[in-house]
Amino acid sequence: MSHCRSLACDLARLAWRDYYLGRPSMHDWKSELDALVAEAMAFAKSLKVEIEQPRPEPKKVVESDGLSLPDDGGSQRDEIRKRVESFKAQQERFMREREEYANSLLRRIRPITKF
């Protein structure tokens, strides 16, 4: 008798043992799966779990006793404007550099391509 150590041999031995002992075969896996799902669903329904939702904290109302709040909107707008201007300047610089590179490349290629 040879000693087989592969997964296929293990599965064959298990199938033979199940057949010999009268257990359900792998052909009946769908019904076993359905039974397992039904058992799990019944178990889940039997559990009584209460989940507490966190309550939002009430917002505190601050009264302004004639005090004016600083207007940060202007400074944020200025910062955004500066960033946009910086971005546009950088994009223009990139365009100039690309055009300069393309022109220098064309100047180098033209003498080679003229016949």
For the whole model, what pTM was predicted? 0.33
Q: Domain count of the chain?
A: 2
Position 52 in a domain: no
**Structural domain for 83, as ranges:** 75-115
What percent of the chain is helix, strand and coil (3-state, nearest 5)? 65, 0, 35
Q: pLDDT at position 1, please? A: 47
Dihedral sign computed on CA atoms, order 10, 11, 16, 20: positive
Between residues 97 and 16, the one the model is more confident about: 97
Please state, in angstroms and rounded to a whole number, the distance separating the CA atoms of residues 69 and 66.
10
Position 42 in a domain: yes
Residue 86: inside a domain: yes
